[in-house]
Amino acid sequence: MIELLIVVAIIGVLTAIAYPSYQEHVLKSHRASAMSDMMKIQLEIEQHRTQTGSYDYTVIDNTAGTCDSTLGCQTDTGRYKFSIISGASGIDLYVIKAAPQSALGQDKDKCGTLEMNAGSVGSAKKGGVNVDGCWN
């Protein structure tokens, strides 16, 4: 009986150590998926500009937070919602944003809201503070 109790205690300790690491890995993998989709969105915007001379921001439905189905975006809308903010100039002519959602716990990710501007410069902000190391 004591041996069984020791085994259960060891399993409990291992689980307490491994589970947070697993959760962090899941958040990071969904973040990587959102970043990949942001790049797909930007490529589509720039391709449209090359072909027609104007930007097409309708590749994202700003209300639903989803990207056009023809792009093959893989991001779960329960994890991130996309939007495009346009109207500035230069490198910030438009900014693609991926806002983490709380429905599936993505808001617990250390990187917070992901942004990528027209110059392909990525950044991350959590609580209004820049977070380094998220786009590496």
Tens-of-pLDDT digits for all 136 residues of the chain? Answer: 899 999 999 999 988 888 889 999 999 999 999 999 999 999 999 999 999 999 999 999 888 899 988 888 989 989 999 999 998 888 999 999 999 999 999 999 999 999 999 999 999 999 999 999 998 7
Q: What is the pLDDT of residue 53?
A: 93
Residue 101, C-beta contacts closer than 8 angstroms, at least 6 positions apart: 77, 78, 79, 80, 81, 107
Q: What is the pLDDT of residue 1?
A: 86
Q: What is the pLDDT of residue 88?
A: 81
Q: Sheet containing 129-130: which strands, arranged edge to edge?
A: 80-86, 94-100, 113-117, 122-126, 129-130
Nearest Cα residue to 86 out of 96, 78, 77: 96
Rounded to an integer, what is the distance from CA 64 to the centroid of its chain? 15
Is the pTM for the entire model greater than 0.75? yes
Q: What is the pLDDT of residue 87?
A: 83
Q: What is the pLDDT of residue 131?
A: 95
Spell out the domains of the chain, with CATH numbers in brackets: 2-130 (3.30.700.10)
Q: What is the pLDDT of residue 68?
A: 83
Amino acid identity at 107:
D
Q: What is the pLDDT of residue 136?
A: 75
Q: What is the pLDDT of residue 89?
A: 86
